[in-house]
Structure 1
């Protein structure tokens, strides 16, 4: 790591213990520039470690040989990086990877809810202007890019668990319209089929050809063009049908193929091009933004079965639940408008249950009170009760 120095502005805590994190960072090689790809990979790895540690950095700067190269990353972290060790680095085709060991001293986590994993269904993206796919016949870009996004999100050590639902085409235009007159039943169905609280929808809005790269007078050169890639994301909470996060991303990359060539967007050859690498850079950013967006959201689930004073709920080990965890119960009583649109309505009860058995995707909870559970039904809501850590204790 002799070429890199990480400068951090942080909030320091003397009462915490350092933790080691091993992470892999990725950087795309464009025009043979391995130095920039290496910097990108190092920055990516550090960002992942900071987010995963829950450990708030106001700025991370990459310095090479005493010269500030990048000052773009602005995230919140509760920790200080003590040591960074380079374990491995290698070039694989047009991708550069580095493996780092980071010694991080975390402060109190950003929020207590971050200790629970959020399950998110990743759906197939929709192409809003299909005629733009004629260049290269890349009509499969919706499924291919969604698979690539899922792989990127799934490979990273974040507090989210991704569930793929990318084989089926969906019409998601209403979910991105300003009127918000979307069909909440779609979110409910996707959530039920994947047992996830959140559903990630996306639409690719522009893959048009941009400006020509080479000079018309250089007739001996093969034509190369810039090509756009613009994509919108929206994350919905299935318990409320509310949009909890949205973001627009756009980039341009060199499209090196002749206009008549049919391009296989499922091939590594495509993803190693400058255009494919620029799309991958967007997906790397999505993974960071998404994790930050959901880490402090409340973890809720549904009741799958009621048996006297015991319940089966759709939260389990994969969500971070443990035996002894206490949950509160809410009645689900949605309101329906005159146009048929439903609005989530949850009524808080005084009932509480405690987890006595945890499975992978579900748990069994027992009534805490001696009085029977009152009118608790299937599909009612369970909410994890999070106890904030005490700042100090008296002996």
Structure 2
């Protein structure tokens, strides 16, 4: 098992230095990785689950994770996970291994020397609204009648983010359809009011938008003369995502992912995209793999973003803000206040702009999703208004 763990870890592209440094402090991390068992291949599933568990533990310890995808002739040939770590793995122990139907769960315990080179913002949570993905070419969904694939994919993205349990905490906002065309054009003609509405209704600070751009199928793979064979097709999948700040309406991150996998169903079959039959198929599993990768990419992109919210109500010297325990706030936490404004460039384009004030507030009463804050040292708060931005003041370690 040790050799197996070593081979899996080596495949991650991370460097494990098994030496003690006086500038580090050892800490145990426990993480559970999950993987799908395809074609009863337990070895491949165990390798994927261990990789998932190690990645989670490394990210918890302060690592940055990025994925590198290599495409040759439109076919995904390599999906390599690279970890730039602020920690060094000293020891890995297998705690448990459980299989339920076609799902394998592996729990590891890792001894990591976590270094102090981390951004302090990673200690706080950022809530992100996961909206319903837009299906751009509905005619491509005719094979299998998978016209609800955008809803199922959005839910799967939400689940992948929820399982990662890192800086970004997903909020389900995928029940209503959203027109996202304008967010993926070069004109950047965003709807600030729509972003604000999504952020307000979901009580999230960030908004994730996406569109599925390709579901095309290739020619049938099996021979027409081999009538005893089941029909199968090679099917493409491509999705584009973009992340916005729900407070300043600024675009913060954008990426696209694509893959190709076997569509094993008959041409006349009507497939339920919410069923295990779909998600356990090679095509469904390829989407799940992409969503796991994008969840790590998004978590890494959001780790050092500020935890910020808004002033929702003011009564005398007390301010009600939409941040609370769930975001990592504690009683006595300091926050700064900024006004939301715009700058206009020579071409007439409006760019978001925060006007930082000298006002500081301190959390006095704490709730799960909100808090009551007062001015530090009872100083006056001139010009502070509802919807002004509050941002967590984090101390460097």
TM-score by length of 1: 0.90
> Aligned partners of 2:254, 2:222: CA distance in 1, in Å?
37
Secondary structure of the corresponding residue to residue 25 of structure 2: coil
For the pair 1:366 / 2:374, whether they are aligned, the reply is yes
> Aligned partners of 2:378, 2:98: CA distance in 1, in Å?
61
For the pair 1:44 / 2:45, whether they are aligned, the reply is no
Number of residue-to-residue matches in the alignment: 379
The equivalent residue for 1:209 is 217
The equivalent residue for 1:273 is 281
The equivalent residue for 1:4 is 5
For the pair 1:129 / 2:137, whether they are aligned, the reply is yes
The equivalent residue for 2:74 is none
Secondary structure of the corresponding residue to residue 18 of structure 1: strand
- The CA deviation at 1:58 is 10
The equivalent residue for 1:353 is 361
The equivalent residue for 2:295 is 287
Q: 1:163-196 CA deviation, whole Å, 9 max, x = no partner?
A: 0011101111111111111212111100001111
For the pair 1:228 / 2:229, whether they are aligned, the reply is no
Q: Which moved more, 1:174-183 or 1:336-345?
A: 336-345
The equivalent residue for 1:381 is 389
The equivalent residue for 1:65 is none
- The CA deviation at 1:386 is 1.8
> Aligned partners of 2:137, 2:325: CA distance in 1, in Å?
41
Secondary structure of the corresponding residue to residue 218 of structure 1: coil
The equivalent residue for 1:77 is 85
State the Cα RMSD in Å.
2.4
Q: Is the contact made by 2:33 and 2:50 (CA closer than 8 Å) also made in structure 1?
A: yes
Q: Is the contact made by 1:213 and 1:226 (CA closer than 8 Å) also made in structure 2?
A: yes
> Aligned partners of 1:311, 1:287: CA distance in 2, in Å?
34
> Aligned partners of 1:135, 1:249: CA distance in 2, in Å?
21
> Aligned partners of 2:322, 2:351: CA distance in 1, in Å?
22
Q: Is the contact made by 2:65 and 2:296 (CA closer than 8 Å) also made in structure 1?
A: no
The equivalent residue for 1:162 is 170
> Aligned partners of 1:287, 1:57: CA distance in 2, in Å?
10
- The CA deviation at 1:13 is 4.0
Secondary structure of the corresponding residue to residue 153 of structure 2: helix
Q: Is the contact made by 1:13 and 1:107 (CA closer than 8 Å) also made in structure 2?
A: no
- The CA deviation at 1:71 is 9.4
> Aligned partners of 2:106, 2:57: CA distance in 1, in Å?
13
TM-score by length of 2: 0.89
Point out where structure 1 has 5 or more consecutive residues left out of the alignment. Answer: 60-69, 390-395
For the pair 1:91 / 2:99, whether they are aligned, the reply is yes
Q: 1:225-250 CA deviation, whole Å, 9 max, x = no partner?
A: 11111101111011221111111101
Q: 1:33-89 CA deviation, whole Å, 9 max, x = no partner?
A: 221121111111100111122256999xxxxxxxxxx99321222111122111222
Secondary structure of the corresponding residue to residue 164 of structure 1: strand
> Aligned partners of 2:198, 2:360: CA distance in 1, in Å?
28
Q: Which moved more, 1:47-56 or 1:1-10?
A: 1-10
- The CA deviation at 1:139 is 0.6
> Aligned partners of 1:80, 1:58: CA distance in 2, in Å?
18
> Aligned partners of 2:378, 2:141: CA distance in 1, in Å?
63
Point out where structure 2 has 5 or more consecutive residues left out of the alignment. Answer: 68-77
